[in-house]
Structure 1
Amino acid sequence: MKALVYLRISQDRTGERAGVDRQRDDCLKRAKERGWEVVGIETDNDISASGKRRRPGFEAMLKAIEAGKAQVIIAWDLTRLQRSRRDEVRLYELCQKHNMRLALINGAELDFQSAAGRFVADSLGSVARLEIELKSDRQIRASRQAAAAGKRVGGRRPFGYDADGVTVRPAEAAAIKAGYEMALAGVPLAEIARRWNADGFTTGQTRRKEGHEGQPSPWQAYSVRMVLLNPRNAGLRSYKGEVMGKAEWAGIVPESTWRAADATLKHPDRRSGTVSTARRLLSGLARCGVCGSTVHAGGAARAGIVAYRCSGSMGHFSRMAEPVDEYVGKAVVAILSRPDAADLLTDGSLPDAEAMSMQAMSLRARLDSLAVDFADGALTASQLRTATERLREKLAEVEASMADVGRVDKLGDLVAAENVQQVWDAKSVPEKRAVIDLLMDVVIHPPGRGTRNFNPATVEIAPKK
C-alpha cells in the first residue's frame, strides 16, 4: 500500500525545522511497521492551519490524493492536517472519493470506506476545532496582557534585535536609523532596500520560490516598509496595530521619528505611487518657464547624453541636463554653507518631542486605569465610553504633533558638515532630490536658438515658500 506523509508545525522560532523533523521520523517509522511504501512527503513548516495563510504542502497533498498516488495519509495527529471546516470538508470528500485511510501517530486510524469511520473522523475533527478555538482564546488574552505590560511574547527575530527581541544589534540598528532618515527625506523605499541588500543585510526569512528554496530573502520595498512602520523600533509595545505603551526593550529611534515615518509612509501620495522615484536630479521637480509643465529627462543615457524636456504638449525646450544639474547642486551647497543654515532646521511652532512622549505615556496610562475603574464599579459603561473617546482624541492629537517633530530635521548632516560639498556629492540621487524639493523651486527656461554655452539666467531658483 502506498502512503503520503504530511508534516506541519505552526511556529518555527529557531528556523531549524526540528518540529517537522521529529514528525517525519515518527511517520516514517509507522510506515515501516505497517509495510507501507512512502511515495511522497509534504511539509508546511512555520505555517498555521487557521486558514489565514495558504499551505503549499497541504494543497500538494490534496492534488496527490486526487491523482490516486496513494491509499494512506500518515500525519502526527488530526490537528496537523486540518483546523478549519473548509479544509476538513475538502480533505474528507477526497478521502471518501478515493477510499483513503488516515493513519494518525497520536490517534486512531480512520477508514473513510465505512459510515462509522466517516462519523468518527467528523467527530474528531469537531473536537480538534474546539481545541484550537479554546487555545486561541487563551493565547489572545495572554498576548494582550503581555502587550499591556510591554513584554515580548515570541516569534521571529526582529530586524535590529537579537533572537530575544530585546538586545539591540548595533549594525542593524544603524541601518534602521539610516532607513528612517532616508524615508523622512523622501528617499524611495526601494532605494533603502537596495542599500540594505548592498550592506549584506537580509530579512531573516527564507525564500520559497522554486530554485531559490531556503536562500535568505533579500530586502524589497514592502519589507522595508514593514520594518519602518513597526513601533517596536521606538521602544513601544503594540497589539493588533494599537500602541499599548512602553516596551521592555530599548528603542532604536525616538518615538517622534517613528511617528513621523508612520505618517509619511501611510500618506495617500506614497501609497498611490505618486511619490517620484525618478533617477535624474530634476525630473518631475523642475518646471517649464514657458507653460509651467513639469520637466522630464530623456535621451541616450548610456552614451552620457541626457536632456531635460518640457512635458507640455508644445514641448517648449530640450536642453542638456548635466550643466543644469551642476548649477542647481552648487546652489544647494551655497545655501547650506551659509552661517545661518541651521535656521532651516528650526521650527519654533512645534512642541518638544520629549514632552510629547511623556504626555502620550500619561494618556495611555489613563486609558488603562479606566478599564480598572470600570471593573471596580467606579464608572458606568456610558462614563467609560465617554472618557475613553476623549482620551483617545487627545492621544491622537499628541501623536500627530510628535510626527511633526520627527519631520523637522531633514538636513542635519549637510548643515553640520565641515565640507558641505563633500557630503552633497556622497548622497544618492533620491536623497539629493529630497533636499532640493525641501529647499527650492526650480524653473527651467529655453536656452535660446543657437546657444551652445550654459547661461545661468535660464535656470531660475527660488526659495521654497
Structure 2
Amino acid sequence: MGSEQRRAAVYLRISQDRENTRLGVDRHREDAEALIAARRWLAVGVYEDNDISGKGHKKRPAFERLLKDIEAGLIDVVVAQEWPRLERNRTDGVRIIEAAQRHHVLLTFAKGSDIDCTTAAGRLSADMFSAIARNEIEVKAERQSRAQRQRAEQGRPPKGVRPLGYATNGEVIEHEAEAVRKMYAAFSSGASLRAIAAALSGYRGADVPHLPALPRHNRTLMIERNARRAEEGLQPRPVPEDGPWVSSTVLGILRNPRYAGYSTYTPKEVLANGDRRRSWRAQILRDEHGDPITGNWDGIVALPVWEAVQDRLDDPARISNRTGTDRKHLGSGLYRCAVCDRPVKAHGQRYRCAGHIMRSREQIDDFVVEAVRRRLALPDLHDLLPSADEPRMLEIKTEIDERRARIHRAQRDYDDELIEGLDLKRIRDRENAAIDTLEVERLRLSLGMSHNSVLKARDPLSAFDAGDLALRRQAIEILCEVRLHPHPRGVKAFDPDSVTVTWR
C-alpha cells in the first residue's frame, strides 16, 4: 500500500484538563493533522482521552477503541504528539507494540520519528521510549512522595482533600469538629458504625446516637470548590446529590490519627505489618527515637479517646464479625447465664441460653433498668463507681511505644545492613505479639467510665433515661454484671431472685 493510501488515526491525551479548556488536545490535533496532510495519508478518525492519566490506574476508553480498531485492520498508522501521550505504563506499552507488530501498523509522532514495530530495531526503540516515559513518571512520583513526607515530618497539614472538621490550612471548623467529637464519643459508648452513619444522615431512633445531621462530605467539598471557582470567574462543577452516610466513611474518620494531633504519611508501598485494619496507626510518623510526630494543628479528639476507639476497632470480636456489630436488645450478649456463665442471646421475645434458660426479655430488661436507675439516683454515686486504672493505662501506653520503637530501630538496622532479614522478622513478630496482648488489656481498661457520657453527666439518671441503646448497654456493663437463673417451675409471676445483679 503506498504512503498516500495509508489510513491514519490520531490519538490525543492530556493528563490534566480540570477546566475542560481543551487547549492541549486542540494543539496536538492541529500538529497531527498537519503531519497527516504533509505525508498524504488518509485521516480515518480521532481517538481522544482528555483529562486522563496514562499511568494505568484508570481505563482509557479511546485507547481501548484504538487497539480494537487496529486488531480489526482498520488502521495503518497511529499518530500521536509524542510517546508519553500514547502510554506511560508497561502493560499498555506492550499492548500497543504487539498490536502494531501483528498488523504492520506504523507508530509516528508529531514531535518525534517513525517507529516500525515489525522490525527488531523498531521494537527496541519503542521499548526504550516506553521505559523512559515510565521512568519520568516514577521519578516524579518519588519526588512528590519525598516532599509529602518532608511536609509531614515538619508537622504541616498535608495537601489535598480536607478532612471533616479541618480547613485545608489545618484550622478547626468548629461545627464539623463538634460532630467529629460526638462521633468518637458515640463509638466509645458502644454505638456501631452503622448507627453513627444513620445519625449523621438525620435518622432518629432508640438505637441511633444523638449526633448532628450533616450533608455528605463530598457534597460539602464540591460546594466549597464551586464558591472558589465563582470567585475566579469559572463555571461551577456538578454538585453530588446528598445521600445517607455510609459506615466506611465513619470508619475512616474514626481511624484518622490527625484528629488526635498526630502527623501521618501514607506510603505507596504495602505496609510492613501487612495489617490494613491497623494501617492508620502504622502511618503515624515517628522520629529517630520512635516517638510519634505531632502536627502543627489543634487536635479535635483527646488522645486517650482516640486510642480507646482504636482499641475497640481492633477488638478481635469486631474483626471476626461478618454480620455487623449492632445490638438490637438491651441484654443480648451482655447478660450472662447463671448456669454456664456464657452470654445469653435474644430469641424472639426471650433471652436464651441453649439447654439452660429461656426468659422473657421484657421482664428481665424492666428489672435491670429499674435496678440501674436506682443506682444512678444515689447521691453518692461517684464514690461507688469503679475507678479507671490510670497508672496502668499509662504503663501500657509507654510499653507499647517502647516496643514500637524497637521495631523501628530493627527496621533501621536492617536498612543499614546491620542485621539479617530473619532477625528483623523475629524481632517484629515478638514485639507485635507483645503489643497485641497489651492492646487487649488496654481495651478492657479504656472503654470504661471515662468515656461514658451517662456516668460523666451532671444528672446520670436523666442521661441514662435519654440515652440510646448503645449508651445504656455500656452504662450497665460498667456498673454491674447481670446473671439470669432458670425461672422456677410452676411459677408464672416474675421472681426477682431469679436475676442476680452484682455491682462492680
Equivalent in the alignment of 1:338: 378
Q: Deviations over 1:59-107 (max 9, x none)?
A: 77426633668858787865465433233223433454566677878x4
Partners of 1:421 and 1:188 lie apart in 2 by 23
Counterpart among 485, 496, 501 of residue 445 in structure 1: 485
Partner of 1:145: 150
Residue in structure 2 matched with residue 376 of structure 1 by the alignment: none
Distance 1:460 1:167 in 2: 51
Distance 1:25 1:352, change over 3 A: same
User: Which segment is superposed worse, 24-33 or 122-131?
Assistant: 24-33
1:234 alignment counterpart: 260
Is 1:157–2:198 an aligned residue pair? no
Distance 2:168 2:309 in 1: 25
SS at match of 2:471: helix
Determine if the alignment matches structure 1 residue 90 to structure 2 residue 90: no
1:266 matched to 2:306? The reply is: no
Matches within 5 A, 1:241-320: 241-244=283-286, 245-273=293-321, 276-299=325-348, 307-312=349-354, 314=355, 316-319=357-360
Residues 104 and 443 from structure 1, CA distance in 2 versus in 1: closer, same or farther, beyond 3 angstroms? farther
Q: Aligned to 1:163, what secondary structure does the other structure show? A: coil
Q: What corresponds to 2:24 in structure 1?
A: 26
Query: Gaps spanning 5+ residues in structure 2: where?
Result: 1-7, 37-42, 203-212, 223-237, 268-282, 287-292
CA–CA distance in structure 2, aligned partners of residues 73 and 421 of structure 1: 77
2:191 maps to amino acid: V
1:426 is aligned to 466
What are the superposed Cα offsets for residues 138-159 of structure 1, whole Å, 9 maximum, x if unpaired?
Answer: 2333233222211134121122
User: Per-residue CA shift, 1:171-206, capped at 9, x if unaligned?
Assistant: 221122122222223322222222223312424389
Contact 2:449/2:455 (CA < 8 Å) preserved in 1? no
Q: Alignment identity in percent?
A: 26
- What 5-or-longer segments of structure 1 have no aligned partner? 10-16, 300-306, 372-379
Letter paired with 1:161: Y
In structure 2, which of residues 57, 60, 68 is the aligned counterpart of residue 58 of structure 1?
60
1:328 maps to 2:368: yes
Q: Alpha carbons of 1:309 and 1:253: their partners in 2 closer, same or farther (altered >3 Å)?
A: closer
CA offset at residue 273 of structure 1? 1.7
Residue 202 of structure 1 corresponds to 216
Quickly say closer, same or farther: Cα 1:158–1:95, change in 2 above 3 A: farther
| Structure 1 residue matching 2:285: 3-state secondary structure | strand
Partner of 1:324, secondary structure, is helix
Judged with a 3 Å threshold, the aligned counterparts in structure 2 of structure 1 residues 425 and 80 are, in CA distance, closer, same or farther, namely: farther
Distance across 2 between alignment mates of 1:457 and 1:167: 57
Check whether the contact 1:287–1:295 (CA below 8 A) recurs between aligned residues.
Answer: yes
8 Å contact kept, 1:288–1:445: yes
Cα distance in 1 for partners of 2:182, 2:356 equals 39
Contact persistence 2:357–2:487 (CA under 8 A): no
Task: Indicate the RMSD between aligned Cα atoms, in angstroms.
Answer: 4.7
Matching residue of 1:350 = 391
Please identify the structure whose Cα radius of gyration is greater: 2
- Residue 154 of structure 1 aligns to a residue whose secondary structure is coil
Q: Give secondary structure in 2 for the equivalent of 1:126.
A: helix
Residue 288 of structure 1 aligns with an amino acid whose one-letter code is C
- Structure 1 residue 446 displacement after superposition: 3.9
Task: State which of 436, 441, 444 in structure 1 corresponds to 2:476.
Answer: 436
How has the CA–CA distance of structure 1 residues 117 and 3 changed in structure 2, closer, same or farther, with 3 Å as cutoff? Answer: same
2:467 and 2:481 map into 1 onto residues whose CA distance is 20
Deviations 1:282-318 (A, max 9, x none): 112223344545422243xxxxxxx124241x36425
Q: Distance in 2 between matches of 1:213 and 1:81?
A: 32
In structure 1, C-alpha distance between the alignment counterparts of 2:337 and 2:313, rounded to whole Å: 29
Q: CA deviation at 1:278?
A: 2.2
Structure 2 length normalisation: TM-score?
0.66
Superposition deviation, residue 3 in structure 1: 5.6
Match of 1:200, as an amino acid?
L
Post-superposition Cα deviations, 1:23-65, rounded to whole Å, max 9, x if no partner, equal x4432564477396767755676x783x6xx42x337742663
Counterpart of 2:257 in structure 1: which amino acid?
P
Counterpart residue number, 2:130: 125
Local SS of the residue matching 2:252: helix
Equivalenced residue count is 415
Secondary structure, aligned partner of 2:330:
coil
Q: Kindly provide the amino acid, as one letter, of the partner of residue 159 in structure 1.
A: L
Shift of 1:237: 0.7
Q: Secondary structure at the match of 1:150?
A: coil
